[in-house]
């Protein structure tokens, strides 16, 4: 899915899963390509494991709006367990897309949770364990986001990942690429 103006992304995760980091990496990648971007979290006194949200806006023009994203173009779900406790599609635009970390098929996930929107799925947990050796799916899910909405080129993530992860950047970038290759959209 290609967006021509501003794209707004809402990321659902749990504290400690890296939702905020993935939002920051995506915004930095966009800025590195000459676009305008902002990333910010939304959480209160939550603790590790509690539901959190992070937001990303990317545009070819300066971004004037600063508020929480209530009508996203893309919804990303880092923890599939959140599908059972939150309405992750709340406010999702009519032509939006949902990107989910799950072992379930795209068709099964779409039918069960979000039949109105295209649904992209990837087993980001398995990829993260295989490539970076921990079940933290934030960078892995960046690959799925890029497959679903083509917001920035894959290569634009290399520098932000190197800056953030140093010596672990290569394995994180590998996880991102593997997720891009294996994401299925229904």
**What is the per-residue pLDDT across 114-149, written as a single tens digit (0 to 9) for each?**
788 999 999 999 999 999 999 999 999 999 999 999
Which CATH code is given to the segment(s) 7-185?
Answer: 3.40.920.10
Question: Closest Cα to residue 184, out of 115, 108, 130, 113?
Answer: 108
- pTM score, two decimals? 0.94
Question: Closest Cα to residue 119, out of 128, 127, 110?
Answer: 110
**What is the per-residue pLDDT across 17-72, written as a single tens digit (0 to 9) for each?**
899 999 999 999 999 999 999 999 986 655 677 889 999 999 999 999 988 899 99
Helix, strand or coil, per DSSP, at residue 13: strand
Residue 88 near residue 72 (C-beta atoms within 8 A): no
């Amino acid at each position: 899915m290609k967006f021509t103006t501003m794209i707004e992304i809402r990321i659902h995760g749990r504290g400690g899963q890296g939702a905020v980091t993935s939002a920051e990496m995506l915004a930095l990648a966009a800025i590195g390509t000459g676009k305008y971007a902002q990333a910010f979290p939304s959480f209160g006194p939550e603790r590790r494991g509690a539901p959190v949200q992070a937001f990303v806006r990317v545009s070819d023009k300066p971004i004037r709006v600063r508020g929480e994203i209530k009508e996203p173009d893309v919804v990303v779900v880092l923890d599939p367990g959140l599908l059972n406790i939150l309405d992750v599609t709340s406010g999702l635009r009519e032509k939006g897309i949902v990107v989910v970390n799950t072992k379930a098929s795209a068709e099964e996930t779409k039918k069960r949770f979000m039949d109105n929107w295209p649904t992209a799925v990837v087993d980001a947990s398995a990829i993260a364990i295989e490539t970076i050796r921990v079940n933290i799916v934030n960078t892995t899910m960046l690959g799925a986001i890029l497959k679903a909405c083509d917001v920035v080129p894959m290569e634009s993530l290399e520098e932000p990942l190197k800056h953030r992860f140093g010596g672990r950047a290569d394995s994180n970038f590998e996880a991102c690429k593997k997720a891009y290759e294996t994401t299925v959209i229904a």
